[in-house]
Amino acid sequence: MTLETKLSLDNSEAIHEQSVADVSLATPSLLPAFPRKPLNTTISNCPPSGIRRFFDIAQTMENVISLGVGEPDFVTPRRIREAAIRALDHGGTTYTANAGLLSLRKSICKNLSERYNAHYNPETECVVTVGVSEGLDLAFRVLLNPGDEVLVPDPDYVSYAPCIEFAGGIAVPVPTSAKDGFRLHAEAIEAAITPRTKALLIGSPANPTGATQSREDLQKLVDMANQHDFYLVSDEIYDRLTYLGEHTCLGSLPGARDRTIVLNGFSKAYAMTGWRVGYTCAPEPISRLILRMHQYTMLCAPHLAQIAALEALDHAEEDVQAMIADYALRRRFFVDGLNAIGLDCGEPQGAFYAFPLIKSTGLTSEEFAERLLMEERVAVVPGGAFGKCGEGHVRCSYATSMSQLTSALEKTGRFVERVKAEPGNSRNVNVSEPVTIIAENHHA
């Protein structure tokens, strides 16, 4: 059979029956349109985000209370929005310098100096990025060579390991536990160090646990980094959302500055998730390479968003304080409510997440999250999505209204009671009277 005869057939399967010899005689225009060479295996093998999976399912359902995505429920403060509108009216729609507006970089460095005694040169040691996510990606692309290892607390934010792996590195989990507030022990770090250890990634306050690391513990990690010669990457996006004690900027500690990349941004404290503005602060040799990568991959952060961020730093402190006070009320109410319905939950010291233990239900974190969503229309994230040590927990964001939190607690309490009472449940216990959640003394 000739190639022309095959192409005249209506049955497309005939093309796939063609011999290799026939294909070799075909003209390029007649070759199969689909590519055969494999795509990037590192990216292909990376699983989808465990956070987004449940969020996407919830989006297809009606009347869902979402405690899944870590996003403030506040609208960006008016003064910040108005600054961007004015800039738009005056033509602020162009590129900026690759490193970002110098006025913004000066304000960032001034803020770090005055608030945390961390000192950086705005002209050579600060780069404005498209959110902290880009900063995280750039940090590891600059630091890592293929096969380098990065120590990462477990549980950790879902983007950490993929960013390390996309840069050619290997993420090495370091176990932490709810028993001591997910403290990152120097002894655990020491045990994980190998000759290939290149960096330690720290998030404080942390997503998903809300844990913060003490100044004393952070100093021990800095001393260890100097002893073993590895870099420190500090994700401080939740710095302003610290409820117990004061936040410590890692770059301010003795011995830390020359080997530390500080990552921060405007999404959480200023309710600016959609504006996509973050920054890196690091010593000049590191910042120079971060800027080089940024030039080729992103060019610059959006001009309007940078103007909004400048307004946020310079004039929105009153708005930030009001939001922090509201989060603090919700945190106390929600954590107390979780414990009242039988889900043990330690007190998160920062961010806006609770990480309750759900082992009393006899369900895995995946089963708990899926059934709670399907049966009660409450969306949470299974703790296993954040690492092996997250199993047995679920992450709940309390960055939502008090009425939503009240309803979520009532629904979750009903679900927990029902699950524990199911025949055959190894955790079957006597079910107490339903817990009534009252939020009348809280405002949000």
Using CA atoms of 126, 130, 133, 136 in order, give the dihedral in degrees to the nearest 10.
Answer: -30
CA–CA separation, 244 and 232 (whole Å):
24
Provide long-range contacts, Cβ within 8 A and 24+ apart, for 288-297: 288/124, 289/142, 290/127, 290/135, 290/138, 290/139, 290/142, 290/261, 291/98, 291/99, 291/127, 293/138, 293/141, 293/142, 294/98, 294/99, 294/127, 294/129, 294/134, 294/138, 295/98, 297/138
The DSSP letter of residue 393 is B
8 A C-beta contact, residue 63 and residue 80: no
CA–CA separation, 340 and 333 (whole Å):
10
Over its length of 444 residues, how does the chain's per-residue pLDDT go in tens digits?
A: 433 333 333 444 433 434 434 444 445 556 667 778 899 999 999 888 877 777 777 788 889 999 988 899 999 999 999 999 999 999 999 999 999 999 999 999 999 999 999 999 999 999 999 999 999 999 999 999 999 999 999 999 999 999 999 999 999 999 999 999 999 999 999 999 999 999 999 999 999 999 999 999 999 999 999 999 999 999 999 999 999 999 999 999 999 999 999 999 999 999 999 999 999 999 999 999 999 999 999 999 999 999 999 999 999 999 999 999 999 999 999 999 999 999 999 999 999 999 999 999 999 999 999 999 999 999 999 999 999 999 999 999 999 999 999 999 999 999 999 999 988 775 544 433 444 444 444 333
Q: Which residues pair with 174 in a beta bridge?
A: 153
- The tens digit of pLDDT for each residue in 356-413 reads 999 999 999 999 999 999 999 999 999 999 999 999 999 999 999 999 999 999 999 9
Domain boundary assignment for the chain: 1-37, 50-74+318-420, 78-316
Element (H, E) at 296: helix 284-297
CB atoms within 10 A of CB 352: 29
What Cα–Cα distance (Å) separates residue 67 from each residue in 31, 121, 129, 352? Answer: 50, 39, 28, 10
Q: Which residues, other chains included, contact 348 with Cβ-Cβ below 8 Å and sequence gap of 6+?
A: 205, 209, 210, 211, 243, 331, 335, 354, 355
The DSSP letter of residue 123 is T
Residue whose tokens read 């940078």: 306
| pTM assigned to the model | 0.87
CA–CA separation, 335 and 346 (whole Å):
8
Residue whose tokens read 């939020």: 439
CA–CA separation, 28 and 104 (whole Å):
53
CATH architecture of 78-316: 3-Layer(aba) Sandwich (3.40)
Residue whose tokens read 């690492």: 387
Residue whose tokens read 């509201």: 326
CATH number 3.90.1150.10 is the correct assignment for the domain at 50-74+318-420: yes
